[in-house]
């Protein structure tokens, strides 16, 4: 009877080890091959179209890091998307342990800029709303990537 209990205990530990390895591989895979998730509607998308057409619309020309290790960094925006993450080929390379390799992307659609989470581990937030698909970023609205906060400025 003791031999059976010993064998079942060994099998249980082996199963736990494989589950741990599988969880690590799944996390690494989601960090490397970032996909997009479901859609979250933010309060900025619920705004009335009449309100945005009342005044002269300002266009974002700069991306400014307001909080984090790179606070004060200013990037001039062009027509190319801005890739944000820890990867060396990112437009904004973060030294933040809470940021993924390819964490988020800012891309222009017409005169508006949209932020999109690229399947990051800790998520991307527009103000306080979690972003899972492309969401329009109003000027001056904080976008949180890990411990880094960025804003679009005219």
* DSSP run (H or E) holding 127: none
Contact at 8 Å (CB) between 65 and 72? yes
Report the predicted TM-score, pTM, of the whole model to 2 decimal places: 0.62
Q: What pLDDT does 152 receive?
A: 92
The one-character DSSP state at 141 is -
Q: What are phi and psi of 23, to 5 degrees?
A: -65, -40
d(CA 109, CA 81): 10
What's domain 62-153's architecture?
Answer: Sandwich (2.60)
Please determine, for residue 78, whether its predicted confidence score (pLDDT) is greater than 60. Answer: yes
Please determine, for residue 42, whether its predicted confidence score (pLDDT) is greater than 80. Answer: no
d(CA 101, CA 88): 9
Q: Name the band, by pLDDT with cuts 50, 70 and 90, for residue 37.
A: very low
Higher per-residue confidence, 20 vs 79: 20
Q: What pLDDT does 38 receive?
A: 42
Task: Taking residues 100-115, report their average pLDDT.
Answer: 91
* DSSP run (H or E) holding 66: strand 62-67
Q: What pLDDT does 34 receive?
A: 53
């Amino acid at each position: 009877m003791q031999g059976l209990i010993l064998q079942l205990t060994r099998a249980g530990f082996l199963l736990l080890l494989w589950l741990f390895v599988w969880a690590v591989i799944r996390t690494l895979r989601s960090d490397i091959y970032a996909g997009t998730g479901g859609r979250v509607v933010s309060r900025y998308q619920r705004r009335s179209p009449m309100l945005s057409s009342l005044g002269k619309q300002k266009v974002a020309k700069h991306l400014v890091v307001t909080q984090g290790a790179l606070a004060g960094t200013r990037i001039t925006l062009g027509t190319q998307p801005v890739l944000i993450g820890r990867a060396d080929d990112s437009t904004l390379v973060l030294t933040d342990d809470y940021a993924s390799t390819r964490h988020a992307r800012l891309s222009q659609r017409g005169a508006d800029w949209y932020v999109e989470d690229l399947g990051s581990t800790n998520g991307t937030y527009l103000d306080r709303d979690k972003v899972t698909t492309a969401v329009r970023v109003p000027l001056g609205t904080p976008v949180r990537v890990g411990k880094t906060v960025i804003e679009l400025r005219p």
